[in-house]
Amino acid sequence: MGNSGYTCIRRMFCSFNVLIWICGGGFLAIGVWLRFAAPGYATLLPDHAGLSADYVFMAIGAISFVIAFFGCCGSWFESRCFLIIYFMLVVMLFLSEFLLGSLAFVFRGGIGRMLVHELKYGIEKHYNVTDRGGILAPSVASIWDKLQVELQCCGVSSYEDWYDISAWPGERWVPRSCCRPRYGSVYTEGSGDDLAGGDCRKSGDPSLLWDKSCGQILQMWFIQRLHVVGIVGLVIAFLQLFGLISSMLIFCTVKHKRKSSKTYKSYSPSVDTTLNRNSTGTYLDD
């Protein structure tokens, strides 16, 4: 590879990793901010709190930060050790993504049922009417009430998910955030479980409640954005492929340059082309 081509690839690779390094730091900062600003969202999945948005952002940020560090230092200092570590990390990341994606596709039904079960378990065991939490740490009740009002939904699968929960054992009630506004049952954020209007949550009339489930709305929202997921996946795969090829090109070029610098040209001693003659002036035979 010529010096100009090598320099171009090296600078592009270094700039690329600097950008990934900055993005990784940004994701890490967002995850930390979510952890302290909205820690209550993790309790929606009490047995799988690691799947909450804050932990996901922190994991993505930390992985990107570390990988980009090795790539940037490897290209800048022309370190073969850092470059090979970068290559191995990207390969392991790619294989992990492929494995997780394949498992998620194969077991998509089981994963969906697990999420529904965990959300219902959070409603049944962790919904507390009197516990509204705070601004920095909203409770499960506050989160579910806000979610149902904004999405205009009720329950995970249906409004019956709210029946006989720990907040009102033995009762077929729903939270007032499930009530439709036109029936005078408007839920006001920050008002706890108090309601200005009729008590539709105890009426047992489904026509007074939102007719769609939150799980159904979230599923439709995700399906409508599958093309975005596909585009993001292709972009990530292309960036990883670019990183793998560039790191190997730089690695091989650095190895070749160092090997060439240690090789010295050997010069043969000059051969005397003059023919030896004896004292009589005749040429000596070999």
Q: Is residue 88 part of a domain?
A: yes
Q: Is residue 277 part of a domain?
A: no
Tokens of 163: 């029946």
Q: Taken in order 53, 94, 243, 80, is the CA torsion positive or negative?
A: positive
Structure confidence at residue 261 (pLDDT)? 60
Structure confidence at residue 50 (pLDDT)? 61
Residue ranges making up the domain that contains 230 = 3-191+198-259
Q: How big is the CA angle at 247 (ends 241 and 253), to the nearest 5 degrees?
A: 135
**What's the rounded Cα separation, in Å, for the pair 234 and 97?**
12
Q: Is residue 275 part of a domain?
A: no
Strand partners, 138: 133
Q: Is residue 285 part of a domain?
A: no
DSSP string, 34-85: HHHH-GGGGGGSTT-GGGSHHHHHHHHHHHHHHHHHHHHHHHHTT-HHHHHH
Q: Is residue 280 part of a domain?
A: no
* Alpha carbon of residue 147 to chain centroid: 23
Structure confidence at residue 37 (pLDDT)? 66
Place of tokens 């043969």: 268
Q: Is residue 266 part of a domain?
A: no
Structure confidence at residue 271 (pLDDT)? 43
Helix (H, G, I), strand (E, B) or coil at 179: strand
Q: Structurally, how many domains does the chain consist of?
A: 1
Tokens of 204: 């047992």
Neighbours of 283 (CB within 10 A): 9
Q: Is residue 282 part of a domain?
A: no
**What's the rounded Cα separation, in Å, for the pair 249 and 168?**
65
pTM of the model: 0.69
Question: In this structure, what DSSP letter does residue 153 have?
Answer: -
Q: Is residue 270 part of a domain?
A: no
Per-residue pLDDT 10s for the chain (286 aa) are: 567 778 888 889 999 999 999 988 888 888 888 777 665 555 566 566 666 777 888 888 999 999 999 999 988 888 899 999 999 999 999 999 889 888 888 888 888 888 888 888 888 887 877 766 665 556 778 888 888 998 999 999 999 999 999 888 988 899 988 988 865 444 444 444 444 445 787 877 888 888 889 988 988 888 888 888 888 888 888 989 999 999 998 988 887 776 666 554 444 444 444 445 554 555 444 4
Amino acid at position 127, single letter: Y
